[in-house]
Structure formats: structure tokens, C-alpha cells
A and B are shown apart, each in its own frame.
Chain A
Amino acid sequence: MEYGEIIKILLMLAAAPLISGVISRIKNNLRLRRGPGIFQPYFNLAKLFKKEERFSEHSSWLMKVTPYIVLGSVLSAAVFMRAGDLILLTFVLSLGRFFLALAGLDPASPFGGFGSSREMFFAGFLEPIILLAVFASALSGGGAIEASSILAAAALFLATLAETSRVPVDNQETHLELTMVHEAMVLEYSGRSLALIELASYLKQAIFFTLIMLVLWPFLVSRIGWYLLSLLVLAVIVAFTEVSLAKMRLFRVVDFLFFAGILALLAVISAALGV
């Protein structure tokens, strides 16, 4: 791999928290609030890196190594995306998720168990959706915008909401442990480990946003200007979605993901028929 590629991926890692900062800012403005600045995620990360780390006395080595595995898995997912191997990308992300779920159970906190069980419950639906959407785009060859690419991008967008724990699937802002999905798994983390996990989540979000563009119209990622503009548009769409919807009842999420799955399947069919 060239040095240029490595630099690009590191740049992506460095810029990823900004997306969350922008989304949060837009959301707050929509809710008549000023909200923190768009660089707040960086300050949070810096704070967490400086803080002391505490581990539950019931936890094992698993909890300590998981943040590195998670960040590593997301970084390699970014590499595979650059290399164009989207199937490997999906499975590498699953590896990170698997360890995160184990780490949720490890400290024997009641909330972590809830989080792990819910996350894995959703994951079973999410992975096929992502694979189908990617498959559709591979079938259609990925040139201009077609019916199949729009369908696949829509399916991926819904999957992204779930993957990045956004309303209506999850709620990043809540303080209510009993309702959390992703957050419940990482509740016991602190300090540097938490920072690494959050950094991984930011990068994962950037990867998914990029995937949506790749599937919709690869041209969008070919120029840096277009890429940044598309990211901003996606951020606005996500912010509006989050503010205008209530979170779904846990078991309703299945319907939501099922719908995304149908979209992805339609994308494959229409790509295969060449519509």
C-alpha cells in the first residue's frame, strides 16, 4: 500500500469527529438551542485521553483489549473500503462489534448485558442489508445514478442510522440507561479506552456516510470538494431525521430494518434486470 493511502486514511480518522460535531450543532439549532461548537467532539476526546481509567473489579483482560480491537477493526474497514473490498469491510466491522458485545457482558453490569443483547439482535438484520446493498452496486457497475443505486443508497442510509446509533433506532443523547443500545455496552468504559471506542464510532460513521455515496454515485467521492459537500448534506439529513422522529419501540426496529432489507433486495433485483 502506498504512503498516500495511509495518509488519506489517517486524515479520514482525524476529520471523522467533525461530522458528529456538525450534526449535533444542526440538531441543537433546530431545537432553538445554541449548542456546543462543531469541534466539541475533539475536546471530549482530548479530555477522555487525559482522564484516569477505571475498570470494574469483575472485568477481565477482555475489557482492556477490546477498545484496540474495535478501533483496529474500523481502521482496517477503512483500508478495505479504499481497496474496494466492501464484503471484507462488513465482516471486519462485525469482528469489532463481536468484541464490543463481549466487553459489554464482561464487567457484569446489568446495563451492559442489555446493550450487548440488543446490539447483536440488530446486527443480525444489519449485516445482510449492507451486503445486499453493496452487491447491488457491484452488479450495476457503479456509473451514473440508476434506480438500483438509489434503492441501495436508501437501504444503506437506514442501516447507517442503526449502525451509528441514531434516532429512531437508538439515541446518543439519552441519559436513560434502560433505553440505551450502543451506549449501554460501553457504559463501564472510561478514560483512554472510552476515547478509543468513541474515535472508532466516529470513523465508522464516516465510513458509512462514504459507503452511501459510493453506492449512490461514485462520482461524489472522486473530488474532495464534492465529497465534503455530500458529507454536509448527509449530516443535515441525519440531523433533521433525528429531530423530527421519536425513537422506535425496541421491537419495532425489526420492522424498520426489514423495510431497509426489502429496499436492498429490490436494489439487487433491479440491478440484475438492468433497470
Chain B
Amino acid sequence: MEKLLFELTRLGIVPVRLTNENEVYLEVSPADFKPACLALHKLLRSTVMLMFAEDRRSSEGTFTIRAGFIGTKQRRWFFVEQKVPGPAFGSIAKEIYSANLFEREIKEMFGLEPEGNPDGRRLRLHDEVWSGGYPLRKDFESAVSGPIGNYPFMPVEGEGVFEVPVGPVHAGIIGPGHFRFSVAGEPIINLESRFGFTHRGVEKMLEGRDAASAAKLSECVAGDAAFSHSLAYCRGVERACGIAVPTRGDYLRGIFLELERLYNHVADVGTIALDVGFSFPAAEASVIKENLQALNAELTGSRFLKHINLPGGVSRDLDQASVKNLLAQTAAATRDFRRLREILYASVSFLDRVETTGALSKKLAEDLGVIGLAGRASGVKLDLREVFPGVYDGLKVVFREKGDVLARLEVRLDEFEESVRQIERLAARLPEGAIAGDEVTVGSGQALGWAESWRGPVLYWLRFTDGKLERAKIVDPSFHNWTGLSAAVLDNIVPDFPVCNKSFNLSYAGNDL
């Protein structure tokens, strides 16, 4: 930490503000923004975890733009903050690629031009239906639909090169996303994806809400990570307003977070097998997944673990019998899961399909800012449960180096075991006491809340003013990782795309917000 601060001082970046124990804000002038970001990016070896603007024109007369980095050694979040009065700000995307999508987002939501960002296209508000207005500005009134435009995909030309459009309507039960393949025969030479079809304006909807109703909305951002999202949100509220959570509540949150990981990891193992036509283990996996979701329903009343998190704690307690049931069922699921694992490893035809398929190198993963599960499969060892342990004890971070479909599968296989181990530990040490604070008063403040969902870090940056949300920035790991998928499928053949896609299993809704 001292060394870091020294380095920053040497660069002339002095004003440092420390809030909420582990959030460090560096307020810099627009001219210093890029050097400060570059310094943090280099010193912390962190991608841009989040970057967002805030409309502060009514109180300060300017927009504020923050870029957030994580210091895994320092166990702190670092934000570089600049005030932007005008219609433009300096882009950092050419130097730090992971800022690219965030800058495009700021451009379309706030109308601030990232000067120097080579990609001027829209991100979520499609030209076909949207002509004007910047939704996240405070003076925004309503959406305007415009004439049908065209989205320029990157053209790939050459003899025998074809463009194959797939989606946004897909044959399976998945979200909508458009994939534009450029293929030369079967090999994929370029893949561009386009999203925004499930854009609901969540961040705008959150503005002006009170803490409790916003918690409900946060569960709907990405259905399969409902608990992680509400957890990240609630932690944000608690940190912003100094609300204490009883220890038992914290432990229960840990258990539920791991339960969410369990059912999602099993489901993915099954669908990876199904996508290579290996239907037997897929059927096995669907049985295990069903058992786990039925367990969720038994314990909490919700198969997707919704309606549990509240600012200040949780709403569902586990009594002695429930804990016993939980341990028995997870042990049974582990036995079934190990058998599933054996079936997969015993099948040469299956391993032949997943090995070397969709490989994403560590270098590329780092450069593109791929994080979470997909990142760990490529050797990017970031797990927020390790950086900020909280109730976790001795968590083993699972990672692989190869970054292929098999690696992403193996990370899931091992994380399942680790999650069960953590559930057992948490259940064994479950302290007595209240599960939520008695009186939760939400005042004013700003903070970052986070949770390591099964997909990766879910981040909520929140500002409350007099109990109402003024700005909420949500980052689902999918937003970082879709780019990784486009890079991973290059040089693979078209029929292998579905299994590559399923091995990332990214959220459309979490990306589109």
C-alpha cells in the first residue's frame, strides 16, 4: 500500500480519499485521469473492474466519471475520479482495452463522448429503434423511437468468406443475442456479438427508489444469479449507510451464495455435455440440478433463492432441522456429482470434444479483462471470496491454465466440491443470534457492494441521498466476458460454437441491464 501511494505521489496524483475501510478514491484532474488509470492498471495488475459516470450537474455542476480497479494484495478497491463538465472526456480504451465497453456505455447513457475511442457504435440502445436522449442524465424524460438505421458490423472480405447471422431469436431457451460469424468454410475467422435486446433500463429504474424496493429489483437483473445480485446490492447499501449485519446473517448469506453456485455449476456441466450430443450425463445433471433447486425451495421458499436478502441481513433463517437437511442433501448431491464426473472423464468421445476447444490464453484473457469463472479457467486467479474473505475460511481458489472448454468445465467441477466444503464449514460454525438488524435506517452515502457470483464478480456502486437511490451502477461479469467468448471461438469450427458459448454461459440480461 505505501509503495503504491508513493508511486502515485511520484506521478503527481496526490489527493487520496479513503472511505468504507477499503475503498480508495483518487480525485484527479481530467488531464491526470489517464496517467492515474494507467498507473493503477500497471501497479495493481487489474483490469477496469467498472467504469461509470454520474450526473452531478445539479449539485456540483459537472458529471463525474470513475474508473474502478481492484488491488488483490492491498485488499482494496481503487477508484480514479474526474469531474467532466463538458460533452467529452479522454478515452483510455486504447491503452486499457477493458474500458472500451464502459466508455461506449457512458457515451450512450450520458452523451459524453470518449475522445479517442475508436468504436463509436451504440451498445444497447439500438439505432433501429432509438434516436435520441441520454437515459441516465437526470433531465431525461422519455425514450424516442426513430427511423430504422443500420448497425455496421466489421466487414470481413475474401474469397469464400461468408457472413452468417445467428439470432437474436434462438432455438433453445436462452436469452436473445445476435451473433455475426464470418466464416471461411467451417472455421470461424471473426465473431461479433450484438446485445441490448433485453435492455430494461434497470439502472434508471433504480434511481429514486428506497432501499427495500431496490433490493427486489436487483434480484431481477439476472435470474440465475438472483442471490448474488441482491447480495452485492445489499452490501452496497450497508457499506454506504453504515448498517451492521449480524454475524448469523453473514453466515447464512455465505451458505445461500454457495447454494446458488452449486445448482448453476451442475446445470452447466449438463448442458456442456448436451451441446456435444452426450445426452446421458446431461440427464444425470438435470436430476442433480432439480434436487438442488428443490432443496433451495425447501429451505427458503424460492428455487432461485429470491426474496432472502434485505439491507441489514436476511429474511430466512435455517433451524437445526433445516441445517441437517441441507447437509444431507448437499452430501447426496456431491455423491451424484462425483459419479457424473466419472462418467465424463471415462468418455473418450466427450473429452475429445472439449479438450483444446475454444481456448482463451491467459495473456488474452488478461488483456480483454475476462474475469470470474471464465477468467480463472484461463489462469486469471481473481476470486473476490479470497480477496475479501469475510465468513469464508481457507477458500481454495480453483483455476486452470489452458482456458479451453475442458478447463472451464473443470473449474466448475472443482468449485462444486469447494462450495460444498464451504457450506459444511459455514453450517458447522453457524453462530446463534439475529439474522437481520432490528432497525435499518438508510441515510446518505456512497459505496461499492460486491459478491462473487458463480459467474464472477457482481458489482453495485450505489449513492444514496436521504434514503433514496441517486445512482446505481451494476456490473455483471457477463459484461466483461462476452468479448472473451468472441476471442475464444476464433479458429474453431462453427459446430463447436454452441459448446464454447455454453462453457462461458454468460447472461444476456445481466449484460443488457
| B-binding residues in A (CB < 8 A) | 27, 30-33, 110, 113-114, 117, 167-168, 171, 173-179, 242-252
CB-CB < 8 A to A32: which residues of B? 283-284, 287
CB-CB < 8 A to A247: which residues of B? 276-278, 349, 353
CB-CB < 8 A to A174: which residues of B? 277
Residue pairs across A and B with Cβ atoms less than 8 A apart, 22 shown, are A110-B165, A113-B162, A117-B185, A167-B279, A168-B349, A171-B277, A173-B277, A173-B279, A175-B172, A176-B275, A179-B277, A179-B495, A242-B279, A244-B347, A246-B277, A246-B278, A247-B349, A247-B353, A248-B353, A249-B493, A250-B493, A251-B186
Shortest Cβ distance from B494 into A: residue: A178
Cα distance A177–B497 in the bound complex, in angstroms:
11
Cα distance A261–B495 in the bound complex, in angstroms:
25
Judge whether B352 and A249 touch: CB under 8 Å: yes
Cα distance A223–B460 in the bound complex, in angstroms:
73
CB-CB < 8 A to B172: which residues of A? 175-176
Shortest Cβ distance from A242 into B: residue: B279
Smallest Cβ distance from A249 to chain B, in angstroms? 6
Smallest Cβ distance from B505 to chain A, in angstroms? 14
CB-CB < 8 A to B495: which residues of A? 178-179, 249-250
Smallest Cβ distance from B507 to chain A, in angstroms? 19
Judge whether B171 and A245 touch: CB under 8 Å: no
Contact of A27 with B164 at beta-carbon distance under 8 Å, contacts A179-B498, A249-B493 already known: no
CB-CB < 8 A to B273: which residues of A? 246
Closest 9 CB pairs of A and B: A247-B277, A246-B278, A31-B283, A175-B171, A171-B277, A246-B350, A110-B164, A179-B495, A246-B349
Please tell me the size bucket of the interface on B. 20 to 34
Q: Which residues of chain B in 299-334 are interfacial with respect to chain A, using CB atoms and an 8 Å cutoff? A: none
Q: Is B280 an interface residue when CB atoms closer than 8 A count as contact?
A: yes
CB-CB < 8 A to B275: which residues of A? 176, 179
Cα distance A32–B279 in the bound complex, in angstroms:
11
Cα distance A175–B186 in the bound complex, in angstroms:
19
Judge whether B186 and A250 touch: CB under 8 Å: yes
Cα distance A31–B357 in the bound complex, in angstroms:
26
Judge whether A246 and B353 touch: CB under 8 Å: yes
Shortest Cβ distance from A113 into B: residue: B162
CB-CB < 8 A to B278: which residues of A? 245-247
Shortest Cβ distance from A179 into B: residue: B495
CB-CB < 8 A to A244: which residues of B? 280, 347
Smallest Cβ distance from A85 to chain B, in angstroms? 35
Q: Is B496 an interface residue when CB atoms closer than 8 A count as contact?
A: yes
Cα distance A30–B278 in the bound complex, in angstroms:
13
Contact of A168 with B165 at beta-carbon distance under 8 Å, contacts A178-B495, A246-B353, A249-B352 already known: no
Cα distance A113–B275 in the bound complex, in angstroms:
21
Cα distance A187–B436 in the bound complex, in angstroms:
55
